[in-house]
Amino acid sequence: MPKASSFTPDTPFLPVLILAAALSSFGAAPDADAAAETTDTQMETQDKEADDTRATSAHPEYVTVKSRTTADGSTGHSPGGGLMPHQKAPRAQSGLTRDYIARQSPTESPVALVANLPGVIYSANDPLGTNDDQQGLSVRGLDQTEIGYLFEGVPAAPPLFLMPYTSATADTENISSVTLTQGSSDAASPLYNAVGGQLSVHLSKPKRTAGGFMDLSYGSYALNREFLRLDSGEIGHTGVTGFASFSYRNASQWRGAGDSPRFHVDSRLLKEWGKGNSASLIFSFNRQRQYYLRAPTKAQWKAHGTNFNYSRTYTDGDTSYYLLQENARAQTFLAAPVNLHLNHHLQLSLTPYFIYVSGYDGFGTSLDPNTSYQGNQPAGPLQGGVIGADGKITAVATDTFKQAHSGITASLEWKAGRNSLTAGTWYSYYDFSNPSRYAAVYANGGASNMLGHHPILTASGEPLSSYNSHLVQQVNALFVQDSFKALSNKLTVSAAFRAIMVTRTISNALPGARYRNGSSYFSPQPQVSASYDITPHDQLFINGTTGFRAPSGISNYNDRFSVATGKQNRNATSDTRPEYSIGEELGYRHTGGVNISASVFNYNFTNRQISTTSTLNGAQVSESINGGGQTARGAQLEISLKRWHHFSPYLSGQYIHATIDNNLKSGDDYLPTRGKKAIRTPTFSGSIGLSYDDEHFFGMATVNYVGPTYSTFMNDERIPGFTTANLSMGYRLKKVGFAKSPQIQLNLMNLGQPGYLSGVNSVSFNAKPTTGVYGTRIAGRAPSYFVGGGFAGIVSLSTGF
């Protein structure tokens, strides 16, 4: 039986494999015992924390600790088991170090890794944490499209859809640290969607000595994963170091049929010289394919539980066959960050980058061979496809796409005495093409071609399409920021101003549709902050921020038509106003034997953009709903202890009260939503963790709680609260022959959770019929949900060499 597709990326990765082989032969530096090396991971984390705070603190101070580092980069000495590294930025900010990252399953993406941090709600859709397309993340009630994603300072999320796709940028073994800023972003960050915060992922530096690291993982759902990293050490006497890694992963779906193969390459060349000068070349390639898991409504969940999914076998006319619900994606990432100290007062930073993505999303559907429409024009009789017993053609609605995203960021920092002035710019050019096609389905359930190469044609010989869009977006941003220290450097006051200009031009070649459309957005964003070091261990901070987010998805800018009737079902100009936020925050930190971070916050939003999915001619498409105004107030807390008798505990929590400020329009009436609680925003959430590491035995246990969550603006449907628990344990040796720190690790996920509704997939204005403000009877629509759970166990064998 033919498969639904054979996906081949546009960009081969053979050159990177050659680079990996070359790196293994370079570097004549002698082998060194890991126990004698400085903790490169800690130093990298501290360097990145300094980068994150440079814009708000002219002279951040960090303590470099020397201790034994294992081959996987962990030290066993981070507070909270790596869940609470020290922060100095004058804003709420949390992070992860290698001590925590290395203890988690190597299949998890950074989105899944931050699940235990305060304010974070992670909606899992599979126990292995591998599914980027079908998982949810929210911070302080704002979803992942409102959280800016930076990978090594590059805006790595697709600029139009803003989904982070974090697993596409780096393998977890190569991630040195993760930083999450809740509720705001750095004024210097190249982002235009970060009203909900900023997620920054940092890549490890190449090792100074030649060697490598290998990790083999096997587990539930036929999981097999292999990872190999090679470090060159210093190449000749150039001062250049490099690494290249390759990984392969595959596993069966935890519910339903299908698998999810993934190929990934990371590489980095680095040159450091003088005081703070560096130049780096970063390349990553990712190719993966998987099948969608069916998102149930509340009624479908009650009736079928985890058995609700797409069909395992094909019968004539079955549009829910799993092979027809396929998606594939290939991404190439290239960046070349450069930092130059021009003199004692001036520092220049440049980061050019290029990202290319291609792929498709497929969904089963059926077509009438004689009465289908191309836009608002009759399309039949259709050419191609097999007419079934019901007189319909079973097909796959394929959403093919190509995205090219290039840009450059530049900043110049001037320091003189107690003052630090930084100015910079960001330019981005984004080209996105998105023709939809319909692929014929054979009698055995296989599709002709998911990439649209052999599509179903109209009577005139044109490919049948729901939309044929092309978008070009340009972003221009300028920022200036000044920081001043006083009172013996205890007080730091900063002020910043950023101006962002986003221009989108869209064409739609569908008959009857508006051919040319677009929008331009301009957002001025002032920020102010102050921090005061009461003692070397105690800090107070306050900040005021503003944020902006353009609508996500191309559906909002396109006229849409029903393939079945030719009637227009969406106007291209609806809901394209940008979201704007104003926030205030007050916080306190204490570091020492006990580490505490606490803050209170207040946010006000206008044109609140809610990301959701809707069905267009059988395909699931992303779009934004204008949720009007919203107010959110709350508090968050983090507590951890330094390691004591090899144990280190951690606790985090958040309380938030978020409400809708106005009634929302539905048709010609308004729903009485004013004062209702915000969707995707549980009032309480929190986690506890306990880590142990005596340099041989190690382990970590975490428990996470998420309160009840509303899925409709009318608050007439919600999912119950849930608790999840994960456990990792293992044993390592110091050195055995050529093997450095060989270890075995067991990860157990979702202990005691066979299945649960973990979050909201698609939202609804109202689930039940409701009377509008002017007396209109407004029909309800059921939201759909992510299904989390499924117990999973993974055994990993790893070693350095």
How do residues 376-399 score in pLDDT, each as one tens digit? 999 989 998 888 888 999 999 998
Burial class (CB in 10 A: 0-12, 13-18, 19+), 191: buried
pLDDT at 69: 78
Task: Please report the sign of the dihedral spanned by the C-alpha atoms of residue 60, residue 49, residue 32, residue 700.
Answer: positive
Quote the mean pLDDT of the chain.
Answer: 88
Query: Could you give the percent of the chain with pLDDT greater than 70?
Result: 90
Helix (H) or strand (E) holding 385: none
**Phi, psi at 328, each rounded to 5°:** -145, 150
Angle value at C-alpha 715, between 711 and 717, nearest 5 degrees = 55
* Helix, coil or strand: residue 27: coil
From the CB of residue 302, how many other CB atoms can be counted at a distance below 10 Å? 10
Structure-token pair, residue 537? 């261990």
What is the number of residues in the chain? 801
Q: How far apart are CA 71 and CA 603, in angstroms?
A: 43
Q: What is the pLDDT of residue 36?
A: 34
Separation in Å, CA 140 to CA 118, 120, 161, 165: 9, 7, 20, 20
**pLDDT-derived band at 488, boundaries 50, 70, 90:** very high
Above 80 in pLDDT, residue 590? yes
Q: What is the dihedral of CA 660, 146, 639, 78, to 10 degrees?
A: 170
Could you tell me the pTM of the whole model?
A: 0.89
Quote helix, strand, coil % in the chain, to nearest 5: 10, 50, 40
Higher pLDDT, 190 or 550: 190
The pLDDT tens digits for 505-544 are: 999 989 999 899 888 999 999 999 999 999 999 999 999 9
Instruction: Find residue 715's DSSP bridge partners.
Output: none
Query: Would you give the distance in Å from CA 628 to the centre of its chain?
Result: 25
- The per-residue b/e assignment along 197-214, b for 16 or more CB within 10 angstroms, e otherwise, is bbbbbbbbbbbbbbbbbb
What separation in angstroms does the CA of 283 have from each of 34, 157, 266, 618? 27, 16, 6, 37
pLDDT at 422 over 70: yes
Res 797: pLDDT: 97
Q: What is the pLDDT of residue 444?
A: 87
Distances (CA, A) of 240 to 22, 156, 270, 280, 330: 14, 26, 6, 9, 29
Bridge partner residues of 798 (DSSP) = 215, 743
Q: Which of 196, 227, 103 is nearest to 548 (CA)?
A: 196
**Cα–Cα distances in Å, from 179 out to 101, 199, 214, 556, 581?**
12, 6, 26, 32, 22
Cβ proximity of 82 and 103 under 8 Å? yes
| Cβ neighbourhood burial of 713 (10 Å; 0-12, 13-18, 19+) | buried
Q: How far is CA 180 from CA 203, 244, 252, 410, in A?
A: 15, 27, 31, 23
Res 596: pLDDT: 97
Report d(CA 509, CA 82) in Å as an integer: 52
Q: Other CB atoms closer than 10 Å to residue 546's CB: what's the count?
A: 18
> For the segment 730-756, what is each residue's pLDDT rounded down to a tens digit?
999 988 999 999 999 999 999 987 889
- Give the pLDDT of residue 291: 92
Give me the pLDDT at residue 575, please: 58
Give 427's pLDDT tier (boundaries 50, 70, 90). very high
**CA 720 centroid distance within chain:** 25
Q: Strands 538-549, 579-590: parallel, antiparallel or unpaired by DSSP? A: antiparallel
Can you give the pLDDT at residue 380?
83
Least confident of 154-163, 422-431, 510-519, 618-627: 618-627
**pLDDT value at residue 60:** 37
Residue 71 pLDDT more than 60? yes
pLDDT class for 468, splitting at 50, 70, 90? confident
* pLDDT number for residue 573: 65
Instruction: Collect all residues with Cβ–Cβ distance below 8 Å to 529 and sequence separation of at least 6.
Output: 56, 90, 91, 493, 494, 541, 542, 543, 544
Closest by Cα among 167, 335, 208, 328 to 267: 335
